[in-house]
Structure 1
Amino acid sequence: MTILAFVAVLGPLVFIHEMGHYLVGRWCGVKAEAFSIGFGPELAGWVDKRGTRWRIAALPLGGYVRFKGDMNAASQTDPAWLQLPPHEREGAFPSKPLWQRAAIVAAGPVVNLIFAVLLLGGLAMVRGEAISEPVVGHVAAGSAAEAAGLKPGDRILSIMGRPIDGFQDIAAIVSLRPGEPLAYEIERGGERIEKDIAAGTRIEKDRFGNIYRIGQLGVASGDIVRRDVGLLRAPVVGFRQAVQITRTAVDGLGQIITGRRSVSELGGPLKIADVSGQAASMGLESFLFFMALISINLGFINLLPIPMLDGGHLLFYAIEAVQRRPVSPAVQEWAYKSGLALLLTIMVLVTFNDLGSFGLWRSLSGLIG
């Protein structure tokens, strides 16, 4: 179940990501020489009438489209493209205007984000949208909210300067920041009050053994209603949920970088596979929601300005736009090697974390002891 669920999540997401690159590349007149799902040895492949090699590889942890003029799967420019005859050079990726190259590179992450919005919107059409005003209905005894003086009827207007439109916005911000003082703006009886409140910490362990530290304010909302979502409104709801999930991902990554959360909370392919199986066992809706979550994270991560990723290429194009000439091959080579080293380091780290979350290191220490 876990293996099948992992392939069912990652396979389609990688495919639509690379298809975004491929379709925009075709629209810009760039020849695709290879379209690969996965890396490593080829399990199956064929060549279409346009001369593109479509391949399925052994390691389903990503994919790539190699365009004409690319030296490798990381889309480094092959200097040999300049030696092509003029009529063939037109179909090479490096020959295209800057805006077209940027559009081709950005298309992959953007398609992942659009897919997530449509998926979340579809789920909203099926189960409706829960609506709850950001008004405190109940304050738990002994909670951080009680210690801060919050009262039933208080309307929370903003946290950390971010406007609060619904009660779910409070949880999205607070849950990631246990014990961290945050700036609140509250409306009480027509009067606006500003104060710093630090949420308490709740330790949760799910039925699969995963442990989480979650910030808890200690307030409950008033009445919650579930509103039907029509076809036209579904993309709006999906977009809003996708923005909220992306913001949560940015917050979590920022907390890890600044040391407010442990790097042990970073997960990798093994953890994704494990949670894929968990989500599949909980039903179709949970599985589709998890798929949307991974699609958003895949798009977000690929937009990070790290060489070897799409965001790294976009960074080079931004520099090229400013200085009116491409980044020198020597600098690009150094950046790609550094980016590869960083990605490999992260991969080792998250794999170490994944194995630790499965209890491997505790088991080994017990055997050694």
Structure 2
Amino acid sequence: MGEIATSIFSTEGLVLGTIVPFLFVLTVVVFVHEMGHYLVGRWCGIGVSAFSIGFGPELLGFNDSHGTRWKLSAVPLGGYVKFVGDVNATSQPHPDDIDQLSEEDRARAFHLQPVWKRFATVLAGPLFNFLLTIAVFAVMFSIYGRYVAEPMVAEVREGSPAASAGFQPGDRFVMVDGNRVETFGEVQRYVTGRAGDPITFVMLRDGREVELTATPELLEQTDAMGNVVKIGIIGVVNNQEVGQPRVIEYGPMQALGEAVAETGHIIVRTGQFLRRFVAGREDRCQLGGPVKIADMAGRAASMGFEWLVQLVALLSVGIGVLNLLPIPPLDGGHLVFYAIEAVRRKPVSERVMDAFYRTGLFLVLAFMAFVFWNDIFGC
């Protein structure tokens, strides 16, 4: 019995080793997302009925002086902000529901606000996710700096795409797919997510520029947290002699600039992955749901708090990108409706919104089922 309790409640056990880190990561990301909706909504004069971390029955909560119910709910797999006047996910109530609102509530009701206020309030959730990622990276760069190496080729693996393309030891990367590079890490950034796509490289060789084209191939690797990932490689190796690795230290403003740039790169790579995934060009096992996130959180926590915080940053930017997809009931779906309303000068009809919402909800639920299947049975 003692061994069972130890395996569950020790820092390497199920509760403290996996569940607690998972809840920490998910709660921080969800709280920041919903806080974005809440703060911008309040700034726009919109009333907030409830702010919940989790779904389902309330476990504990309190009412603030503005009438908002802050609560922790039983199912910790998300959260929501309920604005005054919200009666359904489309935020487009029936006229009879509008008539039942008091004058005070009508002035604060979400669906009766100008379209720009609704747009800003919905957009704030994903934007706050991106701001969280930027803040984490800025702190990390300020504390630890960044490890970099010169974009040099020390070795070309035999039979690799690079060998077929004519890469040679001593070549220096100048541009990758039209993007100028200064470090070997930047080269990897442009290559890893492009397996199967021909990429043009400009190399500096013996004082002159040479243009080469190589198509990255997929390679299965184990990352720093022990996760098996498949990435694109061309088969060049950088080493300490030619790469001259070093750590660059940043001041606060420099760290912030680097954090913004790094977050932007991750957003682009995430969008690139989703496009390739929809086209059937990415491994479905690279997508995971709560079980995979919990496993990653446990691994990160075992390596130290800074790794767990980095996982928060990466998950936050991923949640931000996913929420911007133009699919109701995601934030991006609502933003599309508001953009149409701004152009047409009148809202999309309730019937059309409801039809798109039902279709979007089906797609979201299907996606959730897919990642759950991947978590438990598929990969």
Q: Give your verdict on TM over 0.5.
A: yes
Indicate the SS of the match to 1:90. helix
Give 1:8's aligned residue. Answer: 24
- CA RMSD across the alignment: 2.1
Single out whichever of 8-17 and 255-264 deviates more from structure 2.
255-264
**CA distance in structure 1 between the partners assigned to 2:99 and 2:183 by the alignment:** 56
User: Where does residue 73 of structure 2 map in the other structure?
Assistant: 57
Partner secondary structure for residue 347 of structure 2? coil
Please list the CA deviations of residues 200-244 of structure 1 after superposition, one character each: whole Å capped at 9, or x if unmatched.
432224698743322222223421210111112111111122122
Give the distance between the partners of 1:208 and 1:116, measured in 2 at CA: 19
Distance in 2, matches of 1:39 and 1:67, equals 16
Residues 161 and 217, structure 2, Cα contact 8 Å, conserved in 1: yes
Opposite residue 253 of structure 1, the aligned amino acid is: L
Aligned to 1:18: 34
Match of 2:124 in 1: 107
Counterpart code for 2:124 = A
**1-structure distance, mates of 2:246, 2:338:** 47
- Cα distance in 2 for residues equivalent to 1:311 and 1:145: 40
**Separation in 2, partners of 1:199, 1:38:** 42
Match of 2:376 among 350, 355, 362: 355
Unmatched segments (≥5 aa) in structure 1: 359-369
Contact 1:203 1:211 in 2 (8 A): yes
* Aligned partner (choices 330, 335, 339) of residue 314 of structure 1: 335
**Residues 205 and 156 of structure 1: is their aligned pair in 2 closer, same or farther, counting only changes over 3 Å?**
closer
Structure 2 distance, partners of 1:237, 1:138, is 29
Contact map agreement 2:202 2:209 (CA 8 A) in 1: yes
The letter of the residue matching 2:60 is A
Q: Which amino acid aligns with 1:22?
A: Y
Q: Kindly indicate whether the alpha-carbon contact (under 8 Å) linking 1:265 and 1:353 is maintained by their aligned counterparts in 2.
A: no
Determine whether 1:341 maps to 2:362: yes
Choose which of 322, 336, 344 in structure 2 pairs with 1:301: 322
Answer yes or no: is 1:288 the counterpart of 2:309. Answer: yes
Letter of the 1:30 counterpart: I
User: 2:320, 2:104 → 1: CA distance?
Assistant: 35
Could you tell me which of 32, 49, 65 is aligned with 1:33? Answer: 49
* 2:272 is the alignment partner of 1:251: yes
The Cα of 1:139 is off from its aligned counterpart by 3.0
- Residue 233 of structure 1 aligns to a residue in which SS? helix
For residues 173-192 of structure 1, what are the structure 2 equivalents within 5 Å? 173-192=190-209
Which whole-Å CA distance do the structure 1 matches of 2:35 and 2:315 have between them?
17
Q: Is the 8 A contact 1:67 1:75 kept in 2?
A: no
User: What letter corresponds to residue 241 of structure 1 in structure 2?
Assistant: E
- Which one-letter code corresponds to 1:49 in the other structure? S
CA distance in 2, matches of 1:150, 1:44: 62
Amino acid paired to 1:148: A
Which SS does the other structure have where 1:78 is aligned? coil
- What stretches of structure 1 move > 4 A for 4+ residues in a row? 205-210
Instruction: Give the structure 1 partner of residue 145 of structure 2.
Output: 128
Which letter maps to 2:366?
T
Native 8 Å contact 2:52 2:81 kept in 1:
yes
Could you tell me how far apart the structure 1 residues matched to 2:347 and 2:353 are? 10
Distance 2:171 2:293 in 1: 39
Deviation for aligned residue 1:148: 1.5
Deviates more, 1:266-275 or 1:145-154: 145-154
Query: Could you give the per-residue CA deviations for residues 342-361 of structure 1, whole angstroms, max 9, x where no partner exists?
Result: 11100110000011367xxx
**Inter-partner Cα distance in structure 2 for 1:207 and 1:240:** 22
Residue 133 of structure 1: how far off its partner (Å): 3.5
CA contact (8 A) 2:90 2:353 kept: no
Q: In 2, are the aligned partners of 1:66 and 1:75 still within 8 Å (CA)? A: no
* Cα separation, 2, equivalents of 1:87 and 1:248: 45
Tell me, in whole angstroms, the C-alpha distance in 1 between the residues paired with 2:343 and 2:179. 32
Identical counterparts, % of pairs? 42
Which range moves more in the overlay, 129-138 or 219-228? 129-138
TM-score, normalization by structure 1? 0.90
> In 1, distance between residues paired with 2:313 and 2:248?
21
SS in 2 for 1:136: coil
TM-score, normalised relative to structure 2: 0.88
Contact 2:29/2:129 (<8 A) preserved:
yes
